[in-house]
Amino acid sequence: MENSVNQNTAVHAPSDSGVPQHARDFSVKDRVIIITGGGQGIGREYARQFAAAGAVAVIADISIATANSVLKEIESAGGRAMAVKVDVGDKKSVDDMAAAVLEKYGRIDVLINNAAIFATLKKCTFDEIPLSDWELVMRVNMTGSFLCACAVAPAMRQAKWGRIINISSAAVPKGAVNYLHYVTSKSAVIGMTNSLARELGSHGITVNCIRPGAVATEVDRTVNPKLERRVQLLSEQCLPNGQVPTDMVGVVMFLSTPAAAFITGQTIACDGGFTHSS
């Protein structure tokens, strides 16, 4: 009986446990990573950190000047990167971006749909939102993610490998007031993630979504929260420190690796416990 128990509970080394090698592969080295909105804020930090980890960071931004600035940062640190101008709400611009990346590198491994309109939005009640503002937010935040996914999917299907990472917001479960256009657009991104994951799963492509909290960046906002509001937001978190762009890097980088191959169709909160998922 004792021998039987020992056999059944034996500990095997990874080399003979039947665990595939990719399950322990947390590397992004040599992966080609497109980061939309990569010229500033959180996107800039994604680009810098992926390049530092050995990936090729494609800094895709509507401002080629800011994209080139991040490119210089990365190259001066010994990393590899490419800057490309893109308007994510314009199909031709997005298709041209993907074509330029494929022409230079021959592959697209990861898409991070980071580009969005928020910092320039003015707070107002839902019935005071100009239709033009509503349509612009939807075009960039929602349609932009759709167009970028469409542009990279053929290369990923051909490679039978890919990672698409969408970005939502803690404003969705919180139902942030006076930002209905933004909250609605970021709600749609979650639904898009769920459906895309089912459509692309058989091709070895995972699709996930990250839901950040109130991340402090160098980007000025049209309406900056007063100190009292910042203190209130911080008090609602489980972790008692403000969120900065580097707090987002770990989860996004993990989802970009082979080790995350069995995670798809998920929306993951990275907000210091500001919201809870169940």
Catalytic residues: 182
Residue 35 has phi, psi (to 5 degrees) of -120, 105
Supply 159's token pair.
Answer: 């490679």
Reference 277, options 136, 174, 151; nearest CA is 174
Reference 136, options 152, 161, 118; nearest CA is 118
Position 161, amino acid: W
DSSP 51: H
Q: Is 88 left (phi over 0), alpha (psi -120 to 50) or beta?
A: alpha
Cβ proximity of 82 and 108 under 8 Å: no
Distance between CA atoms of residues 2 and 201, nearest Å: 44
Length of the chain: 278
